[in-house]
């Protein structure tokens, strides 16, 4: 008998009492009705858990799981062990989704017998309480019926940030469970999880349709905070990407350029992390750290291969090419100035890089 639950929606919740109601309601409003909705209250100290309980009391499709705080990976994994849907979908609790998302992505999955469906998405960056800028992320429709076709074209999906996050994807549950794929207990767990998913994936469908609204608003968001270990984390992530392409045996010029540009753009982010107002290192300490970072052979190799898409990114990379510590720190300070003084301008520059 066909499984009556078409999609298992999984959403971790932690300190999002101002946003979680909209996230829940956007799933309740889906035109596809045959879903189960696991909401995992990850020991949230605010009213988030109680808000979720109120929705669950009125909708039998919602199941709230309360657990001790263990982070988003453990919250998602807890629900994955209970999911019974044909496909899994992972929602973030401070975002929202268009009502036709699950139905249309599920239809594509069934049409192509896809193990993974990848959709476009929006980033809504709020620069005032009720005013925001929207940036679009998508690529053309495509169907990859085998490993080779997907691997040859994955660079284009990585390039538009479509393979990093879980919330623009529908995952075949059979594929996830048979390969025992789970979120690793690490910072920024989305990326390594998706790398494990695509490593041996065979059938992937891509739609240019956009459904998900990723909200950039919360000042406490971990993507905006100063992180002492950011450089080491980015180096680790780059190693994962390089290893993936080695396993795939894909070494074409387009893929190699994407990997190099991805690395060097994130390298600049690591330098800017040092000029974050919350970084308490002295200027001398920052200089020593930037000098150490610039000395790496990986920087020399990637900055040579990368072909920036914008003029200003080409300019930003010049101090890195020259390995000039003073100029590299100076431009990082300029980025921080824009980032902290004009959210709207920073979002525009970041989207157009």
Chain segment 320-329, per-residue pLDDT in tens: 999 999 999 9
Residue 352: pLDDT band with limits 50, 70, 90: confident
Residue 278: predicted pLDDT: 92
Which residues, in sequence order, are bridge partners of residue 172?
A: 87
Chain-wide mean pLDDT for the chain? 94
DSSP H or E segment with residue 130: none
Residue 103 has pLDDT above 50, yes or no: yes
Determine contact, residues 96/213, Cβ cutoff 8 Å: yes
How is residue 218 annotated by DSSP? -
pLDDT band at 3 (very low <50, low <70, confident <90, very high): low
pLDDT at 1 over 90: no
Residue 187 clears pLDDT 90, i.e. is over it: no
Q: Is residue 158 within 8 Å of 262, Cβ to Cβ? A: yes
pLDDT score of 220: 45
Average pLDDT over residues 66-84: 97
Q: What pLDDT, on a 0 to 100 scale, did the predictor assign at position 130?
A: 85
User: Residue 35 above 50 pLDDT?
Assistant: yes
CB 260 within 8 A of CB 305: yes
Instruction: Give the confidence band of 351 by pLDDT, cuts at 50, 70, 90.
Output: confident
pLDDT-based confidence at residue 340 (cuts at 50, 70, 90): confident
pLDDT at 16 over 50: yes
Domains and CATH numbers, the chain: 7-216 (3.90.550.10), 230-351 (no CATH)
At residue 8, φ and ψ (nearest 5 deg) are -100, 115
Can you give the pLDDT at residue 347? 80
What distance in Å separates the CA atoms of residue 222 and residue 5, rounded to the nearest whole number? 33
- For the entire predicted model, the pTM comes to 0.93
Contact 133, 213 (CB under 8 A): no
> Who contacts 327 (Cβ-Cβ below 8 Å, separation ≥6)?
318, 319
> Are 85 and 6 contacting, i.e. CB atoms less than 8 angstroms apart?
yes
Residues 270-302 have pLDDT tens digits of 999 999 999 999 999 999 999 999 999 999 999
């Amino acid at each position: 008998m066909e499984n009556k639950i078409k999609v298992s929606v999984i959403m971790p919740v932690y300190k999002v009492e101002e946003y979680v109601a909209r996230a829940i309601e956007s799933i309740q409003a889906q035109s596809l009705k045959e879903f189960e909705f696991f909401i995992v209250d990850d020991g949230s100290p605010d009213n988030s858990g109680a808000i979720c309980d109120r929705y669950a009391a009125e909708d039998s499709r919602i199941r709230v799981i309360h657990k001790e705080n263990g982070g988003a990976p453990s919250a998602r994994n807890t629900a994955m062990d209970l999911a019974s849907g044909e496909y899994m979908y992972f929602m973030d609790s401070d975002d929202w989704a268009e009502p036709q998302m699950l139905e249309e992505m599920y239809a594509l999955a069934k049409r192509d017998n896809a193990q993974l469906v990848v959709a476009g998405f929006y980033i809504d960056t709020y620069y005032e309480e009720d005013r925001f800028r929207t940036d679009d992320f998508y690529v053309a429709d495509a169907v990859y019926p085998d490993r080779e076709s997907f691997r040859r074209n994955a660079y284009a999906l990585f390039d538009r940030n479509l393979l990093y996050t879980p919330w623009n994807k529908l995952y075949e549950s059979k594929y996830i469970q048979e390969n025992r794929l789970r979120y690793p207990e690490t910072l920024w767990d989305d990326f390594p999880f998706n790398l494990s998913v695509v490593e041996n994936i065979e059938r992937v469908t891509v739609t240019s349709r956009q459904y998900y609204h990723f909200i950039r608003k919360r000042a406490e968001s971990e993507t905006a905070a100063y992180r002492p270990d950011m450089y080491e984390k980015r180096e680790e992530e780059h190693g994962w990407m390089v290893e993936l392409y080695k396993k795939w045996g894909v070494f074409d010029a387009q893929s190699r350029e994407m990997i190099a540009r991805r690395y060097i753009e994130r390298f600049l982010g690591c330098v800017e992390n040092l000029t974050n107002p919350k970084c308490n290192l002295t200027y001398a300490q920052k200089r020593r750290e930037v000098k150490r970072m610039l000395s790496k052979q990986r920087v020399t190799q990637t900055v040579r291969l990368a072909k920036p898409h914008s003029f200003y990114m080409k300019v930003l990379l010049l101090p890195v090419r020259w390995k000039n510590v003073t100029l590299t720190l100076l431009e990082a300070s300029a980025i921080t100035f824009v980032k902290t003084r004009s959210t709207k301008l920073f979002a525009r520059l970041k989207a157009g890089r």
